[in-house]
Amino acid sequence: MNNEEDIESALRRLRPRAPSPALVGALGRELDAAPASGRGVILRWAAGLSAAAACLLGFLLFGRAPATVAPAYQLVRAEQPPASVDLFDPVRLQDGSFVRPVRVRWSNETHWEDQRTHTRLINYSPSEQFGLIPLETY
């Protein structure tokens, strides 16, 4: 047997002992005689005040009447300008073939408006893609 197995078997055989009656009695006397600390009073006051503040905050935030009308946005304009295409010099890959790197950029833009409040929302989303076009050489 190696040391690890010896240690593991010894640990398996261990059983906790019951505390002595003198220890149980001493702990009981100490717990009964412990005076109320000032820290416990402070914690109880802090817990009560924070609960009252949470109730007040909840009443202020959720006690109001809900908004009667939600915004009704309507599409006013949609644009997609022409895409820009960038062609780069051909590149030789490790297998000996040639490819031409290409980058394409475009954007989409939509304008929305709430007719009631004249609030406008502009959604602009630029996009870019990069790719490789294989070239055949003879």
CA dist., res. 96 & res. 23, Å (int)? 85
User: Can you give the pLDDT at residue 78?
Assistant: 92
98-114 and 84-87 strand pairing: antiparallel
Q: What pTM was estimated for this model as a whole?
A: 0.42
Q: How far is CA 79 from the centre of its chain?
A: 33
User: Can you give the pLDDT at residue 35?
Assistant: 61
Per-residue pLDDT of the chain (138 residues; tens, 9 = 90+): 577 788 888 888 887 778 788 888 887 887 776 565 666 667 777 778 888 888 777 777 776 666 667 778 899 999 988 999 999 999 999 988 899 999 999 999 999 999 888 889 999 999 999 999 998 866
Neighbouring C-beta atoms of residue 112, cutoff 10 Å: 17
